Chain A
Amino acid sequence: MPRAGGLAYFVMRRLVALVLLLLGITLVAFVLTEIVPSNAAATALGEQAAGDPAAVAAFKHHYGLDKPLPARYAIYLAHVLHGDLGQSSLTHNAVSHDLGQFIPATAELALYSILIASVIGVAFGVLAALRRNKPTDHTLRVTSLAGISMPTFWIALVVLYVGFYRLGWFPGAERLNPGTVPPPSVTGLYTVDALLAGNVGLFGEAFHHLVLPALVLAAFNVSLLTRFTRSAVLEVIGNDYVRAARAKGLPERVVVVRYVLRAALPSVVTVLGLVFANVLTGAVLIERIFSWPGVGQYAYQAAVNLDVPAIAGVSLFVAFVYVTVNFVVDVLYGIIDPRIRVT
């Protein structure tokens, strides 16, 4: 039996919580598919097949629609565990297949935007903390508040108008120029796949298309990370070991990077879950504006067309990823800072 307060015990407890939460999420998705009044068989099979009693019975049997509620949930759960999220009533594909098509576009966007936000946000946060209460700090405070106050979809509109429509510096839509053949799919991330294929030109094109949407998605998170980093740095900057490092005559740059930032970063890591959620939120709102073929656009189409299996599938997927990210962040934090394990 792992020792209470030990790392293994901590990870195990979090793991149990994670599994329970994942079960809860499937229950929510299941209830969702149950409460929406719809003739699932007709939408999934199409009008013609729905007239055929045998086809309908087979469909109902496959998804357990002829069984009582708890049994239906068990069947639903078994399907989910096997990666069967049902069939989209809009695209008539398996939802898992659709997700496979749309996830890489959003993943690539999210990756770049989180990268941009982390670099700028952490730098701004350290700067604000070092210049605490000076004009730089106040300016960054107002800027970061402005950053979390601007609707993402509006920033997208303004940026597109200026960067694409007026100046013509950036492409306005899609992941590649019309007619360009995507690189052979390895990761699904065009920039990575292009480099793997040794096609630098294609990498440039994919990157060019990523710039505007990635920047727009980063705006909110830059502000968030600026604010978190500032607080985290302020918590540690007054500590004796920082003063000692300064007293030793270490250059300020070394003090900041090696002593201050290193101590402050763990608490910055805790917001990564939030950062991830913000990117997803933004993706739902802006992918349509940029005609970006990602999960956000799929979720949007599913929601406005009341494509229930797709909505349930997307929310299930997103929630799974989200709680897993939070779990990883939790565990990382527990490893970095053993005090957390007790609570």
Chain B
Amino acid sequence: MTAVAVRLRVPSGRGLLAAIRRQPLAAIGIVVALAWIVVAVFAPLVAPADPLSQAFPPSQSPSLHHLFGTDELGRDVLSRVIYGSRVSIPIALVLVALAMTIGGIIGGVAGYFRGVTDGVMMRSADLVFAFPPIILAMVVAAVLGRGLQNAALAIVIVAWPSYARVVRGLVLSVGESEYVQSARLLGAPARRTLFRDVLPNVAGPVLVLATLDLANAILLLAGLSFLGLGAQPPQAEWGSMVADGTQYFQWWWMGTFPGLAIFTVVLAFNFLGDSLRDIFDPRTAWRSQEEQKA
């Protein structure tokens, strides 16, 4: 894979920050994502009402009292959208971290030890890839039983193989490089070479993948909830709120605003991930006007 050769050109630490600063989309992505995280953390302070309280007149269109209107049960849609961020964002963060860890370990082990280990692990990854993600996630979620936790688990099962593949590919090519070969020749134990010499060089591409995967995970989780396999009523969750909106679509605000919430969060992570990919793989990168002049 070419990514490793590219990796060597990539600045780390302060250099990476400087590179991000040159990417306006990355800045927008970071700001929007941080804003949503702040909203999620301080939801009780930000939200005008209790997301479950049915205290208001039902199905009111947006007004000064209810900026996003109220739903069919008289709940404040804005408050529900705000509280919805407490579901999607933390779950996505946790499940991507999980998928990355599991996939990373499997890919690292497969690439380092090769042979039968590699064969078995990568064929199981292939098997997961043989199903379109939503189908597999849907099946797993259905079999485990409806609920957010099971939906999240289903997404982890769908998501780990991409990390395994990327990490394995990188470990294979990094493993061939001279500094790893010499560490081996010097008699360094396998585990030490793996963790000290190989994995750090794999971090960049994995970071890109993880950022883009955050976007995918939020979409998939919302999709499963939309289908009724994730969050269960009355919990305020964006996907299931859009599903409610399809039941009453003359009241457009019920589905539109939670959908916009999903869109903005996912877009933020995609902006960020796409910019990171530009930084790590400059061949087909987009550049700003100043950079072209420089």
A148 interface contact, C-beta 8 A = yes
Q: Which residue of A lies closest to B278 (CB)?
A: A141
Report the stretch among A54-62, A181-189, A250-258, A296-304 that lies at the interface: A296-304
A318 interface contact, C-beta 8 A = yes
Report the stretch among B36-44, B55-63, B64-72, B266-274 that lies at the interface: B266-274
Q: Which residue of B lies closest to A157 (CB)?
A: B255
Chain B, range 272-293, C-beta contacts under 8 Å to A: 274, 283-284, 286-289, 292
Residue from B246, B263, B274 with most neighbouring chain A CB atoms (10 Å): B246
Residues of B within 8 A of A303 (CB): 138-139, 141-142, 227, 229
Interface 0/1 of B97-126, CB less than 8 Å to A = 000000000000000000000000001001
Q: Which residue of B lies closest to A29 (CB)?
A: B139
B147 interface contact, C-beta 8 A = no
A-B contact count (CB 8 A): 147
Residues of A within 8 A of B215 (CB): 148-149
Residues of A within 8 A of B135 (CB): 280-281, 284, 299, 314-315, 318-319
Contact A153–B223 (Cβ < 8 Å): yes
Q: A133-B287, A145-B271, A300-B227 in contact; A154/B132 too (CB < 8 A)?
A: no
Contact A157–B242 (Cβ < 8 Å): yes
A25 interface contact, C-beta 8 A = yes
Contact A32–B249 (Cβ < 8 Å): no
Please tell me the number of chain B residues within 8 Å of chain A, measured between CB atoms: 50
Interface 0/1 of A279-296, CB less than 8 Å to B = 011001100010000000
Residues of B within 8 A of A308 (CB): 143
Distance in Å from the Cβ of A25 to the closest Cβ of chain B?
Answer: 5
B130 interface contact, C-beta 8 A = yes
Main secondary structure of the interface of B (DSSP, over half): helix
Please tell me the number of chain A residues within 8 Å of chain B, measured between CB atoms: 52
Residue from A154, A306, A308 with most neighbouring chain B CB atoms (10 Å): A154
Q: A21-B126, A234-B284 in contact; A158/B134 too (CB < 8 A)?
A: no
Q: A149-B267, A322-B130 in contact; A36/B242 too (CB < 8 A)?
A: no
Q: Which residue of B lies closest to A277 (CB)?
A: B132
Q: A160-B249, A281-B133 in contact; A153/B142 too (CB < 8 A)?
A: no
Q: A149-B266, A151-B223, A304-B142 in contact; A142/B259 too (CB < 8 A)?
A: no
* Bound complex: CA A235 to CA B222 (Å): 36
Contact B131–A154 (Cβ < 8 Å): no
Contact A280–B274 (Cβ < 8 Å): no
A71 interface contact, C-beta 8 A = no
B250 interface contact, C-beta 8 A = yes
A81 interface contact, C-beta 8 A = no
* Bound complex: CA A150 to CA B267 (Å): 8
* Bound complex: CA A146 to CA B288 (Å): 19
Distance in Å from the Cβ of A163 to the closest Cβ of chain B?
Answer: 12
Contact B286–A137 (Cβ < 8 Å): yes
Q: A280-B132, A284-B134 in contact; A161/B143 too (CB < 8 A)?
A: no
Contact A28–B127 (Cβ < 8 Å): yes
List 14 interface pairs A-B (beta carbons < 8 Å), by A numbering: A145-B274, A148-B215, A150-B266, A152-B223, A154-B256, A281-B133, A284-B134, A284-B135, A285-B134, A304-B228, A311-B142, A315-B131, A318-B135, A322-B132
